[in-house]
Amino acid sequence: MLTVNAYAAPSADAPLEPTTITRREVGPHDVLIEIAYAGICHSDIHTVNGDWGPQPYPLVPGHEIVGTVAEIGPEVTGHAVGDRVGVGCMVNSCGQCTNCRNGDEQYCAEGMVPTYGGADRDGTITQGGYSTHVVVDAGFVLSVPESLDFAAAAPLLCAGITTYSPLRRWNTGPGRKVAVVGLGGLGHLAVKIAAAMGAEVTVLSQSLKKKEDGLRLGAEHYYATSDPATFEQLAGSSDLVLNTVSAVIDVDAYLSLLTVDGALVNVGAPAEPLSLNVFSLIGGRRTYAGSMIGGIAETQEMLDFCAEHGIVPETELISADRVNEAYERVLASDVRYRFVIDAATLA
Ligand SMILES: [Zn+2]
Ligand SMILES: [Zn+2]
């Protein structure tokens, strides 16, 4: 076993602190990654705070990981020592069920193994990327193209695939109109990716505070949802409304923005249940759907797409000892648009 430095939450609602954790021996199908950068995802904060249920503490969060291969198991063929690689929100799945065989490992019938706070298939509890090294089954290790800025690429592993997958599924491309709700970590990437796919992109944000940013990132239109006139003006205009915010929304109001056959897709998830009037769906053969990250093959496709189109998130690089301050700023929406931890500061 390998003992490595990490930043962990000792319990719910306690600040993260430096510690050491152990990583398993490199098995026949494993890859040992020397972590270079780890993004801070809003999910990290919810999870360590216990908002989504009890956690095994101490817990090392982080599921937006990029690094360099330091060692491979004898059966590994797809990665070599020195390669630039990434790990996202999951590190294993059963590999046998229909969903896994279809490349939808995130919907594994036995439950995918999350990158932190989950039981891996060998029974150990997974620990995430706020650390110097991680050992991951090679089937869940992605290749990070050389042309992507390494630090900025980290958030693609969660925020990138979370937005790319529904954009692809709902046929985003030239001639299609996509509205992105919320211009945060997820939303700003959704704008860049949808624009690169050729769609006409509209941002729907609470206020017009980030309008300049939205237009610079690739949106053609920017509206404030706090203005009721927005919903009248945009009625029936979008093929896809991608909702990246976790707040409770007026579902019927957002459904009214859709064309016939349009879809409202949630990637943000409020804790409270939502209600809707089914006539909002029937009256335009509309769909209300959800989407969770993407499969491994699709995540690789997303990284290659982002490399081809020069897409990386806008990031702020921090040292590991600033992680608690970064959490407060994420909760206050005071980040444009993603924090990335420099893992060298953990050594
Ligand atoms: Zn995430
Ligand atoms: Zn499975």
Mean pLDDT to the nearest integer, 241-259:
96
For ligand 1, the distance from its centroid to the CA atom of residue 280, given in whole angstroms, is 31
Give 95 Cα–ligand 2 centroid separation in angstroms.
Answer: 5
Q: Report phi then psi at 121, rounded to 5.
A: -70, -15
In words, the CATH class of domain 159-290 is alpha beta
Provide the mean pLDDT of the chain.
96
Q: How confident is the model at residue 172 (pLDDT cuts 50, 70, 90)?
A: very high
Q: Which residue ranges does the chain devote to CATH 3.90.180.10? A: 2-158+294-303+312-345
Read off the pLDDT band of 52 (50, 70, 90): confident
Element (H, E) at 317: strand 315-318
Whether the CA torsion 269, 272, 278, 280 is positive or negative: it is negative
Which whole number is the average pLDDT over 63-70? 98
Contacts of 132 (CB under 8 A, 6+ apart): 4, 5, 6, 34, 35, 343, 346, 347
Location of structure tokens 């970064």: 326
**At CB < 8 A and 24+ separation, what contacts does 249-252 make?**
249/181, 249/274, 251/275, 251/276, 251/280, 251/288, 252/276, 252/277, 252/280
Ligand 1 mean position, distance from CA 58 (Å): 19
**Alpha carbon of 340 to ligand 2 centroid (Å):** 31
Q: How far is the CA of 257 from the centre of ligand 1 (A)?
A: 27
| Ligand located closest to 92 CA | 2
Q: How far is the CA of 44 from the centre of ligand 1 (A)?
A: 7
Question: Confidence band (pLDDT; 50, 70, 90) for 127?
Answer: very high
Q: What is the pLDDT of residue 73?
A: 98
pLDDT of residue 95: 97
> Which ligand is the nearest neighbour of the Cα of 47?
1
Residues 120 and 91: beta-carbon distance below 8 Å = yes
pLDDT of residue 29: 97
In the reported structure, the alpha carbon of residue 261 is separated from the centroid of ligand 2 by a whole-number distance in angstroms of 31
pLDDT of residue 269: 85
Section 189-201 average pLDDT: 98
Q: Which helix (H) or strand (E) holds 325?
A: helix 323-331
- Token pair 């053969």 is found at 285
Q: Where in the chain is the domain with CATH 3.40.50.720?
A: 159-290
What per-residue confidence (pLDDT) applies to 270?
A: 86
Report if pTM > 0.95. yes
H helices of 78-120, in order, are 98-101
What's the gap in Å between 226 CA and the centre of ligand 1?
Answer: 27
In the reported structure, the alpha carbon of residue 333 is separated from the centroid of ligand 2 by a whole-number distance in angstroms of 36
State the pLDDT at residue 235.
98
Is residue 10 very low, low, confident or very high in pLDDT (cuts 50, 70, 90)? Answer: very high
> Both tokens of residue 97?
């069920």
Over residues 256-267, mean pLDDT? 98
Q: How far is the CA of 296 from the centre of ligand 2 (A)?
A: 12
Q: What is the pLDDT of residues 73-104, one digit of tens each?
A: 999 999 999 999 999 999 999 999 999 999 99
- Cα 344 to Cα 82, 85, 320: the distances in Å are 17, 16, 9
How far, in Å, is the centroid of ligand 1 from the Cα of 293? 8
206 band by pLDDT with thresholds 50, 70 and 90: very high
How does pLDDT run across 274-330, given as a tens digit for each residue?
Answer: 999 999 999 999 999 999 999 999 999 999 999 999 999 999 999 999 999 999 999
pLDDT for position 264: 98
In this predicted structure, what is the pLDDT of residue 218?
98
- The strand pairing partners of 342, in sequence order, are 37
* pLDDT of 225 strictly over 90: yes
Q: How far is the CA of 249 from the centre of ligand 2 (A)?
A: 33
Look up the CATH superfamily of 2-158+294-303+312-345: Medium-chain alcohol dehydrogenases, catalytic domain (3.90.180.10)
How many whole angstroms from 286 Cα to the centroid of ligand 2? 30
Q: Looking at residue 155, what is its pLDDT?
A: 98
Cα-to-centroid distance, 103 and ligand 2 (Å): 9
Ligand 2 centroid to 79 CA: how many Å?
A: 23
**pLDDT surpassing 90 at residue 271:** no
In the three-class reduction of DSSP (H, G, I as helix; E, B as strand; rest coil), residue 155 is classed as helix
pLDDT in tens, 132-170: 999 999 999 999 999 999 999 999 999 999 999 999 999
Among all bound ligands, the one having the nearest atom to the CA of 104 is: 2
- Whether the predicted pLDDT of 121 surpasses 90: no
> Which numbered ligand comes closest to the C-alpha of 97?
2
